Amino acid sequence: MKIVVLFVCLLFLLNDISAQSWDEYLKKRAVKIDSLENLGDSVYGRLKSFRLIMVGEMHGTNEPAEFVTGLAKLITKKEDSVLIGIEAPADLIGNFIENSTEINLKESVFFKTGYNDGRSSEAWLHLISTVSKIPNARLFFFDDSKYYTLNRDSLMYINIKNQMKAHPKWKVITLTGNIHNKLIPYNEKITTGTYLVSDKDLNLSKRICSINHMFQKGTMMNNRGKGLELSEVDNGESVFSQFKFENYLVVDGSEKNFSSFLYTRNVTASKMTTITQSSPK
C-alpha cells in the first residue's frame, strides 16, 4: 500500500502547497473527528458549500461507510434533504428499493449472493439500513450489473446526473471505490468524477468535493487479483500519522484529482455478508 504515500505526495503537489510545511497545512485545514457516525458542526462548516460530495474507499473497509452515514445524519439536521448514492447495482438490490426493510436488503442478490470485490460488506449493509431510516434522506443505487462491458464510469455518471437533475436543491453524497471519484482521468480512462466535474449542464465548478480515505495501517477485505481475502496494510509513519488528531478531515476546494481526504489512523476490515460470487473489475 505504499501507493497511498505516492498518492499523498501527488495530491499536495497538485494543490500547490509545497511552500508550506505539512504540519502548518494540517493545522489550518484539518477538522478533528471523534466519531465517524456522529460528526460535528465543524465538519458541516467545511462541506456546506458543496452540492456534490464524493467519498472514495478501498472496498471491504468500515471507515468510509461510517463516514457517509455520519454525513447523512449531519446534513439532514442542517438542510432539508440529502441524496445518498451507493456504487451498487440497482438491479441486484431488488425489493428493497420499493420496500425498504432490512429483511429485503439482506435478501437482495447483492448481499445474499455477494460481490467478490468487498462491496457486499456488513459496513455497506449497515450504511444502507441506517440511512433508509432517516426521514429526510433518500438512497439511490447507480451501478448496473448488466453493462460492465461498456464504459461503466460513464453509466454511473449518467445515473448520478439524473438524480441530481431530479432533485436540484438537494445535496448529494456518493460512495464509490477510490478510482471512480477521482476528478481527473486515471490510466487514460475518464472517471465518474471527471465526467461530473466537466458537465456544463450541472455546472459543479467549486461545488464538487471529492474525498479519499487515507490511513496509516490496519486491515481490509477485498480482491487484489487473488480473490476476496483479508490483508494487512501499513504505510508507515508520516506527517499525517504524526499529526495531533487520530481521525480528521481535510477539505480543499480545488478540482484537481481528489480535492480532500478523510484520514483515520487505523483502517479496519469489514466482514462480508457472504462470499460466493466474483464480480467484474
Please write the tens of the pLDDT for every residue from 28-82: 999 999 999 999 999 999 999 999 999 999 999 999 999 999 999 999 999 989 9
Q: What pTM was computed for the model?
A: 0.90
Q: How would residue 6 be classed by pLDDT, with cut points 50, 70 and 90?
A: very low
Q: Can you give the pLDDT at residue 147?
A: 66
Cβ distance 182 to 256 under 8 Å?
no
Widest pairwise Cα distance in the chain: 54
Half-sphere exposure of 111 (CA within 13 A, CB side): 22
Residue type at 133 in one-letter notation? K
CA angle (272 as vertex; 34, 144 as ends), nearest 5: 100
Alpha helices in 121-258 (DSSP H): 122-132, 152-166, 192-198
Distance CA(5)–CA(214), nearest Å, equals 9
In the predicted structure, residue 230 carries a pLDDT above the cut 60: yes
Residue type at 73 in one-letter notation? K
In the predicted structure, residue 4 carries a pLDDT above the cut 60: no
Average model confidence (pLDDT) across the chain? 88
Distance CA(260)–CA(196), nearest Å, equals 16
Q: Can you give the pLDDT at residue 22?
A: 81
Q: Can you give the pLDDT at residue 255?
A: 53
Please write the tens of the pLDDT for every residue from 239-262: 999 999 999 999 986 555 556 999
Q: What is the dihedral of CA 93, 96, 101, 107, to 10 degrees?
A: -40
In the predicted structure, residue 281 carries a pLDDT above the cut 90: no
Distance CA(65)–CA(57), nearest Å, equals 8
Region label for 41, one of left (φ > 0), alpha (ψ between -120 and 50) or beta (otherwise): alpha
| Domain regions of the chain by residue span | 3-267
Which 3 state secondary structure label does DSSP give 235? Answer: coil
Q: Which of 27, 52, 53, 32 is nearest to 42 (CA)?
A: 32
Residue with more model confidence, 165 or 6:
165
Percent of the chain with pLDDT over 90: 74
Which 3 state secondary structure label does DSSP give 246? Answer: coil
Q: Which of 13, 71, 119 is nearest to 262 (CA)?
A: 71
Q: Which of 189, 111, 105, 190 is nearest to 139 (CA)?
A: 105
Q: Can you give the pLDDT at residue 150?
A: 65
Q: Which CATH architecture has domain 3-267?
A: 3-Layer(aba) Sandwich (3.40)
Q: Which residues contact 110 (CB under 8 A, 6 or more apart)?
A: 88, 89, 92, 93, 94, 119, 120
Q: How would residue 212 be classed by pLDDT, with cut points 50, 70 and 90?
A: very high
In the predicted structure, residue 149 carries a pLDDT above the cut 80: no
- Cell triple for residue 19? 511552500
Distance CA(82)–CA(145), nearest Å, equals 25
CA 259 to chain centre: 13
Distance CA(90)–CA(21), nearest Å, equals 45
Please write the tens of the pLDDT for every residue from 169-199: 999 999 999 999 999 999 889 999 999 999 9
In the predicted structure, residue 16 carries a pLDDT above the cut 60: no
Distance CA(111)–CA(246), nearest Å, equals 32
In the predicted structure, residue 123 carries a pLDDT above the cut 50: yes
Across residues 145-150, what is the average pLDDT? 67
Q: Can you give the pLDDT at residue 271?
A: 95
Distance CA(136)–CA(268), nearest Å, equals 29
